[in-house]
Amino acid sequence: MKIVNLDHMSANPLVPEVQEAIIAAMRGNYGNPSSQHRMGEKASEILENSRESVAGLINAAAPREVVFTSGGTESVNHAVKGLAWANADKGKHIVTSNIEHTSVIRSMRRLKMMGFQVTSIPVDEYGRVSPDDVARAIRDETILVSIMHSNNEIGTIQPIDEIAGITREKKVLFHVDAVDSVGVVPIDVQKLGVDALSFASNPFYGPTGMGGLYVRRGVKIWPLLEGGIQENNKRAGTENLIGIVGMGVAADLAIRDMESRIAHLTMLKQKLLKELPRYIDEYSINSHQQYSLPNLVSVSLKYIEGESIVLMLDDENIAVSTRSACASGSLRASHVLLSIGLSYADAQGTLVITFGADNSEEDIVRFLEALQGTVNTLRKLSPLYKKAV
Amino acid sequence: MKIVNLDHMSANPLVPEVQEAIIAAMRGNYGNPSSQHRMGEKASEILENSRESVAGLINAAAPREVVFTSGGTESVNHAVKGLAWANADKGKHIVTSNIEHTSVIRSMRRLKMMGFQVTSIPVDEYGRVSPDDVARAIRDETILVSIMHSNNEIGTIQPIDEIAGITREKKVLFHVDAVDSVGVVPIDVQKLGVDALSFASNPFYGPTGMGGLYVRRGVKIWPLLEGGIQENNKRAGTENLIGIVGMGVAADLAIRDMESRIAHLTMLKQKLLKELPRYIDEYSINSHQQYSLPNLVSVSLKYIEGESIVLMLDDENIAVSTRSACASGSLRASHVLLSIGLSYADAQGTLVITFGADNSEEDIVRFLEALQGTVNTLRKLSPLYKKAV
């Protein structure tokens, strides 16, 4: 039985074009982009072609504003720590939000251990940050604001351009974690007006373990990985050339297919949201109606545990998730869901359903039917449910 | 005309078995090792199989002592900074050598900016560190010694086990940058008695942009990349699964073929060293006769520039290097060559020739013939040479 993958957020498949590009790069044996001889020149050319493609995807003013990294987590660590360290002479205060990805949260925690101060601002019931709150949190010693573009658990999209207007006015650097947005929805770093932006290759069907960091020209940042002079002196280490090639091709495809992909994802999302009440009751949708990713639905089901649903659906060859894969294994309730006001019980009863280009309407129907059976079975066993009805 | 690759240090080709494993992993679409469903379990199994293979290559006591990284540079940055930060409560002094890789040097420089003190000890004319010098450099506040296993420009191998005896006795942590040794010569972390050891996948024909960090159980280290709980909480971020699969297969092959590869490389090296005087004069060999890598020859040619030789040999489809690719683009003379006592001129006239499994005796002959012509041509143009003869 075919696996219905409704957990694209955890792992997107590599599209055939990306696979073929990686295979060709391996067979091509391109050498080291830093070498002085011909083998190196070829590698260097391929590297810079990919950089142009990726720069195009986010509309960077110049390809050299893109630094290739080993993924979204490295990009975020590099941005948050690297910007804080490099600008600490101006102050040691940072502003962020309560629903950031663990890579931001833990980087902030580390900076606190190193003498920085962090203000984390709350979000509303849909997970939106208020630009006014950001403005109020900025002090004379503030050097950096870091707010995510879209949330990886509820899909809510933040008013990044408005916040950027504030940070520019107050002359504070602005980093945006856009790992779940770049390649999925249009992102234009120049229009947004941000100073740094983290992203990863897998959300747009490129390889895992590959990412990028946009750093606007002139912004002071320390490298996280130091050594050789690769990546315009911003990120040392011999390049993951096959990964970079894959990311470049994936970026080209994302630019080409952005519109049709969004249309397809939106159709799937609408279908799920519309059909859901025909299959189950006593649930709530956690995302913002207007400002949210087209490929994600977060639904909280009363009286039951998300983990149990995931396991039972897995038996029916349907993959969904309770939260970001990065946080799985943790038994604590999601900080994102608690931040938007969910009770501990409702947070534990939450499913994150993420679509991809390979999903069909039939996948939605199979999921809904399986979910109905699973929810009925689990609620029959639930002491909370028995008490409630 | 076939390219004769005598610059394997910059970029080793991926062996066919590694390519096939990466292709199978891409086609297999294994998902995210951290997911809770079946797709994730398969990925997790593959990840841990690779970890076992890599742990076997360095004889780690347990696979979980191996952390997968994005390459040697990340491993070194993680080890040097992560060990220093995590143990700073015991002291802020570090000991290293004058001929380390730039990733060590720049990590040390960064730590100095953060309040650490670094003692860098000199090497002898062959590039060997004296264990007595290490012992003398260790003070009460010393928390870490970082010495490379083999040097990437001259191939000299350090007395790591003797130094480890000293660090154990003095209760100081010992990190070894073994990027150019692991998979090339036998490395046994338990026999060596080190606390942390950095390595990369490409020196044993695995993918670039993939590496590993051995951290002995119980050693305190901060992560460099923070966020999710991947890699036993030591290195966050969704794993580069296809790279990890490739590294695992490359490790298995390196274990299996270590002896025959070393025999082949040694044969090539001996042939080059023996034949060299028949082709050119006025040169010197920079490596230690006994303690050196089997795949590297560093030769300094009087009166001419290494860069010119590289470019002229490139025209004859022969790839060699003047130094590590990480440092190319820099116009300064190699700190390694100056540290072993070479004059600035001799340092600039140095070639690094590195062999691989795919090289043959014919390659050596073609190189020698081309080198002879190149050296003759360049010396005829050299004002230094005219003055000397």
pLDDT at B323: 77
pLDDT for A367: 98
Residue A328: pLDDT band by 50, 70, 90 thresholds? low
What is residue A324's predicted lDDT score, i.e. its pLDDT?
60
Select the more confidently predicted residue: B302 or B37: B302
Q: Which pLDDT tens digit goes with each residue over A70-120?
A: 999 999 999 999 999 999 999 999 999 999 999 999 999 999 999 999 999
Q: Are B193 and B165 in contact (CB under 8 A)?
A: yes
CA dihedral A158, A159, A164, A169 (to 10 degrees): -130
List of residues 6+ apart from B274 with CB closer than 8 A: none
Is the separation of the CB atoms in B293 and B155 below 8 Å?
yes
Which among B301, B304, B302 is positioned nearest to B353, based on CA atoms?
Answer: B301
Q: Do A229 and B324 touch (CB under 8 A)?
A: no
pLDDT at B331: 61
Q: Mean pLDDT throughout B223-231?
A: 94
pLDDT of residue A26: 93
pLDDT of residue B150: 98
Reported as half-sphere exposure (CB side, CA atoms, 13 A), residue B260 has a value of: 7
Q: How many Cα atoms within 13 Å fall on the side-chain side of residue A19?
A: 15
pLDDT of residue B30: 78
Q: Cβ separation of A319 and B39 shorter than 8 Å?
A: yes
pLDDT band at residue A332 under the 50/70/90 scheme: confident
Q: Is residue B159 predicted with pLDDT exceeding 60?
A: yes
- Please indicate whether, in this complex, the C-beta atoms of B238 and A310 are within 8 angstroms of each other: no
Q: What DSSP string describes A99-153?
A: T--HHHHHHHHHHHHTT-EEEEE---TTSPPPHHHHHHH--TTEEEEEEESB-TT
Is residue A60 scored above 90 in pLDDT?
yes
Distance CA A36, CA A82 (A): 30
Q: Which helix (H) or strand (E) holds B377?
A: helix B361-381
Q: How far apart are the first and last CA of chain A?
A: 36
Q: Is B311 on the interface with A (CB under 8 A)?
A: yes
- The stretch A360-379 carries a mean pLDDT of 96
Average confidence (pLDDT) over B262-271: 98
Residues of B in contact with A70 (CB under 8 A): 69-70, 74, 209, 225, 237, 240
Mean pLDDT of chain B: 94
Contact between B225 and B71 under an 8 Å Cβ cutoff? The reply is no
Residues of B within 8 A of A23 (CB-CB) are 19, 23, 26
Tens-place pLDDT, residues A263-296: 999 999 999 999 999 999 999 999 899 999 999 9
- Lookup: tokens for A268: 């799937």
Describe chain A by its helix, strand, coil percentages, rounded to 5: 50, 15, 35
Q: Is A326 on the interface with B (CB under 8 A)?
A: yes
pLDDT band, residue B329 (cuts 50/70/90): low
Check residue B368 and report its DSSP letter: H
Give residue-wise pLDDT tens across range B42-59: 889 999 999 999 999 999
Most A CBs within 10 Å, among B100, B108, B112, B208, to test the A interface: B208
pLDDT digits (tens, 9 = 90+) for A194-245: 999 999 999 999 999 999 999 999 999 999 999 998 999 999 999 999 999 9
The half-sphere exposure of B323 on its side-chain side, counting CA atoms within 13 A, is 24
Q: Bridge partners of B350?
A: B300
User: What's the CA gap between B40 and B18, in Å, rounded?
Assistant: 22
Confidence (pLDDT) at B367: 98
Are the CB atoms for B45 and B239 separated by under 8 Å?
no
Q: Which of B132, B133, B181 is nearest to B157 (CA)?
A: B181
Please state, for a pLDDT cut of 90, what percent of chain B lies above it.
87
Query: A196: which strand partners?
Result: A175, A215
> Residue A32: closest CA among chain B residues belongs to which residue?
B11
Query: Which of the pair, B91 or A12, is modelled with greater confidence?
Result: B91
Contact B325 A11 (CB under 8 A): no
Supply the mean pLDDT for chain A.
94
Catalytic one of B326, B333, B357, B368: B326
User: pLDDT tens for residues B168-179?
Assistant: 999 999 999 999
Q: Distance, in angstroms, between A229 CA and closest chain B CA?
A: 6
Confidence (pLDDT) at B100: 97
State the best of A20, A148, A242 to mutate against chain B, taking most chain B CBs within 10 Å.
A242
Average pLDDT over residues A347-357: 94
Residue A383 a catalytic site member: no
Counting every residue, how long is chain A? Answer: 389
Q: What is the maximum span of chain A, computed from C-alpha positions, in angstroms?
A: 75
- At A331, the pLDDT band (50, 70, 90 cuts) reads low
A311 interaction partners in chain B (CB closer than 8 Å): 36-37
What does each C-alpha distance from B141 to B82, B110, B119 come to in angstroms? Answer: 17, 18, 12
> Which DSSP category does B89 fall into?
G
Classify B59 as helix, strand or coil.
coil
pLDDT band, residue A326 (cuts 50/70/90)? low
Q: Rounded to whole angstroms, what are the CA distances from B380 to A305, B313, B322, B345? A: 81, 17, 21, 17
Query: With 90 as the cut, is the pLDDT of residue B387 above it?
Result: no
Tell whether the model's pLDDT for residue B195 goes beyond 60: yes
Q: Give the separation between CA B120 and CA A58, rounded to whole angstroms.
A: 44
- Domains belonging to chain B, first-starting first, are 4-11+258-388 (3.90.1150.10), 16-253 (3.40.640.10)
Contact of A227 with chain B, judged by CB distance below 8 Å, is answered with: yes
Residues 13-72 of B with CB under 8 A from A: 13-14, 19, 22-23, 26-27, 29-32, 34-40, 43, 69-72
DSSP state of B217: T
Give the mean pLDDT of B119-146. 98
C-beta separation of A240 from B70 below 8 A? yes
| Across B70-94, average pLDDT | 98
Q: Is A377 on the interface with B (CB under 8 A)?
A: no
Question: Which positions 65-104 of B are in contact with A (Cβ < 8 Å)?
Answer: 69-74, 76-77, 101-104
Three-class SS state of B304: coil
Contact flag B74-A70 (C-beta cutoff 8 Å): yes
* Model pLDDT for residues B237-264, shown as the tens digit of each residue: 999 999 999 999 999 999 999 999 999 9
Of B264-278, B309-323, B330-344, least confident by mean pLDDT is: B330-344
Residue of A nearest to B105 (CA): A227
**Stretch A130-148: mean pLDDT, rounded?**
98
Beta-carbon neighbour count of residue A194 at 10 Å?
28
Q: What is the pLDDT of residue A114?
A: 94
Higher pLDDT, B381 or B78: B78
